[in-house]
Structure 1
Amino acid sequence: MKAIENWNAFVPGETFLLEGQVKGPLSGLTLSVKDLFDVAGHPTGAGNPDWLASHAVPDRHAPLVQTLLDAGACIVGKTITEEFAYSLVGENMHYGTPVNPHNPDCIPGGSSSGAAVSAAAGLCDFAVGTDTAGSVRLPASFCGLWGFRPSHGALSSQGVVPLAPSFDVPGWMSKSVDHLLQVGSVVLPPDQKLAAPDRLKLALPEDLWLRVQPGFRSALQASIDRIVPSFQGLSHASLAQDHLQAWQDAFRCVQGHEAWASHGAWIRSHQPRLGPGIKERFEWASTIQDEEANRARASMLKHAEVVHAYLDDAVICMPTVANLAPLKGHASSDEDRTNAMSLLCIASMAGLPQVTMPLAVLDGKALGLSLMGGRHSDRQLLAMAQRIRNMLI
């Protein structure tokens, strides 16, 4: 294995050992923490040196960090994030690009880029990140990891630098689905009353599968065929009825409006150095008027209700991302970005749990398959992922 510094996963100067309780359900496990979470005695930089310099070092842990330490896990450092988590690429102008262990010539994906790399490189047992519009799910897929985005509101976001609070959730990634489940058993609340898994259909919405790159279906088909008997039948019914673009547009508008509400005043007062893409995204967000955002939010809530109804008797099965990891220095096409966001925005706008599973490799690149369940079915969804792993080994 390369030296820790060669992976460029950690914020410079922020590798350390913070030990958890001696005995606990996570004793013996190590984790990294995305540089949006407060860790007492360590600066929270949010991926931007100007933010780091203008904010005091926290004197207490974010509640989620405290819970993990109390459960016995040990923190090994804080990982690089794209600035304010407002990108899915994984590059940071100030701190560089973490190296994707699965495909070193490709981007790791973001914004939880350092988190994904630290887990995939074996530098920790699991990594804690955040997911607003795919920032755990996408890098987990690109780096060949198991990754989990919980239901919105299931975990505390206190002590975490926000981006768009209506969508922000902490999440985690690991090379081991067992570790994914162990963490969930500690931090997640009990599921709400749910249908038994064998009473749920496995849904492969045709309109979602039409958004992905050629070869995805054939690469994943063998795994899907093995999964189907565990469910009450199979469905290919469309989810969005050809309205995925409208769903994405409404989501991006609300996300941008909230991102500017979260950081606009600070950006105007401090004039920070922002990297390419981040700078332009915030400039666009600053132009979104309240009336436009309110209309988009009303539309988005209607779209979310469609998803909730679809999941009454089903679990959605879909590729996590619509494209494979691009090479470094080769930006994704507009079509790839649009298709990726069309898939990723669904769980975000509807506040749903989603688990991504590293079940295939295509053209030498990692390809994740996801399960998305109803709101507050988090523990059930993680258990499904573990059963699928056991079926496929």
Structure 2
Amino acid sequence: MPPFPPDDPVHALVPHTLKEPLAGRGSELLAGRTFMVKDLFAIRGQKVSNGNPCFYEHASTAQETAPSISRLLDAGATLTGITICDEFFYSLLGTNVHYGSPINPRAPRHVTGGSSCGSAAAVAASMCDFALGSDTGGSIRVPASFCGLYGLRPTHGRISLDDVTPMAPSFDTVGFFAREPELFRKIGHVLLDGERVEALVRHVVLAHDLFIHSEASADQVIWRALDKIGSALPEPEHRVVAGEEIDAWREAFRVIQGSEIQSTLLPFIEAHAGEVDLGSGIKERFAVAAAITQAEAEAARALGAEIATQLRALVPPGTLIVLPTTPTLPPEHDIPDGASFAEFRTLTLGHTCLAGHAGLPQISIPTGVAAGCPVGLSFIAWPGGDEALLDLAVKLAPFVKT
């Protein structure tokens, strides 16, 4: 058992982190392993802040521990810390004006990505063996790519969201990070519930339209990785997945997410308008979410349903979509969460909204380094194909090891 409290060289932990570890019990599957969790999971005797100290002040102490945490404890893993997240999870940068921003151990001049930023930083810095986060619009996949980690956004609903702060329930998932593919697969087997749909991977669709938007340096790394993978996967079929419709897909995601925030996070902010202090960028996004009309939300949901049908038709069991996890390298950490961030967010959501709309599982695999920054390659599978993605991580490790 490592010393407690753990050293925090990358500022990954919240001020109200655990005062003592929660020891694993029972199964030996994850015995001796340590993990940390994003600051939105209920832990008995603790309060969550959702990245905001005003929320923490008004929060009640949890009476129960989230089932996802309990499963890991039952599998023998020990919980050692609570990690910083972007304020109310409403960012992809990995910054927090209240608690400070975690350092990216793999690219210290650059952001970790968010909103599961502290969890990613902690794993990348070897503060723990793995960590839990959440992914609504990319909050596992983006920091996994930027920090050189394995990250899974599961099939929607396959990992329990009980006792986890909701953001946009239509898109919310619990995901996780790890450095080692074999451990990554074990964690998935502990956490995943519901229907598992097994199939051999016989077809790979390369999302050509999403590759052409990538930064040149990152694009080169990914193509080299695909060349190394070679015969480990079927020859990919190049296809346009979204094409010119990507702007409409991204906007539909933004509107659905914002309309659901009106019922989840916004009520607290409006009830405490005189005391809650939202950071730049976060404040503006909540204002935009508050202005979404019912008619706009209904139109976006109708389009979202069409997108889901179209994407699911692309991935019958045995088929994967391959794409860059993010179209850009991580921005430098002094970028303000304002106008200059808007383009980054827009481009990134164009990649991350696909799995969200369709409720599909997506894995980010570390594939190399460009300009001193990690680069992630993603695979999207069929509903219930999560285990196939976990197996894929192990299978491809020798080809993409960085």
TM category, shorter: over 0.9
Alignment partner, residue 220 of structure 1: 222
Match of 2:267 among 265, 268, 277: 265
> SS at the partner of 1:130?
strand
1:159 matched to 2:163: yes
Work out the CA distance in 1 between the residues paired with 2:341 and 2:162. 36
Work out the CA distance in 1 between the residues paired with 2:324 and 2:143. 13
What aligned pairs does 1:66-105 form with structure 2 within 5 A after superposition? 66-105=70-109
- Asked if 2 retains the 8 angstrom alpha-carbon contact of 1:103 and 1:143, the reply is yes
> SS at the partner of 2:174?
strand
What aligned pairs does 1:7-156 form with structure 2 within 5 A after superposition? 7-15=10-18, 16-156=20-160
State the Cα distance separating 1:392 from its structure 2 match: 4.4
> SS at the partner of 2:9?
helix
Work out the CA distance in 2 between the residues paired with 1:314 and 1:339. 25
Work out the CA distance in 2 between the residues paired with 1:23 and 1:305. 40
Length-normalised TM-score, structure 1: 0.95
Amino acid at match of 2:171: F
Work out the CA distance in 2 between the residues paired with 1:275 and 1:224. 40
Work out the CA distance in 2 between the residues paired with 1:215 and 1:295. 38
- In the superposition, relative to structure 1, how do residues 216 and 7 fare at CA in structure 2: closer, same or farther (>3 Å)? closer
Alignment partner, residue 366 of structure 1: 374
Amino acid at match of 1:108: T
State the Cα distance separating 1:260 from its structure 2 match: 1.8
State the Cα distance separating 1:304 from its structure 2 match: 1.4
Alignment partner, residue 381 of structure 1: 389
Q: CA RMSD in A?
A: 1.5
Amino acid at match of 1:236: H
Bigger mean CA deviation after superposition, 10-19 or 224-233: 224-233
Amino acid at match of 2:11: N
- Asked if 1 retains the 8 angstrom alpha-carbon contact of 2:71 and 2:191, the reply is yes
- In the superposition, relative to structure 1, how do residues 23 and 156 fare at CA in structure 2: closer, same or farther (>3 Å)? closer
Deviations 1:183-228 (A, max 9, x none): 011111365444312x2x2221111111211133321223212334
Alignment partner, residue 318 of structure 1: 323
- Asked if 1 retains the 8 angstrom alpha-carbon contact of 2:218 and 2:329, the reply is no
Bigger mean CA deviation after superposition, 223-232 or 19-28: 223-232
Alignment partner, residue 205 of structure 1: 207
> SS at the partner of 2:126?
coil
1:178 matched to 2:182: yes
State the Cα distance separating 1:73 from its structure 2 match: 0.7
Work out the CA distance in 2 between the residues paired with 1:194 and 1:307. 19
Work out the CA distance in 2 between the residues paired with 1:216 and 1:141. 11
State the Cα distance separating 1:79 from its structure 2 match: 0.3
Work out the CA distance in 1 between the residues paired with 2:341 and 2:159. 34
Work out the CA distance in 2 between the residues paired with 1:36 and 1:161. 5
Work out the CA distance in 2 between the residues paired with 1:352 and 1:261. 24
Deviations 1:8-63 (A, max 9, x none): 10011414311010543111110001000001111111111111111111021011
State the Cα distance separating 1:333 from its structure 2 match: 5.1
Amino acid at match of 1:319: P
- Asked if 1 retains the 8 angstrom alpha-carbon contact of 2:196 and 2:386, the reply is no
Amino acid at match of 2:250: Q
Question: Unpaired runs of 5+ in structure 2?
Answer: 1-5
Q: How many residues align?
A: 389
- Asked if 2 retains the 8 angstrom alpha-carbon contact of 1:84 and 1:161, the reply is no
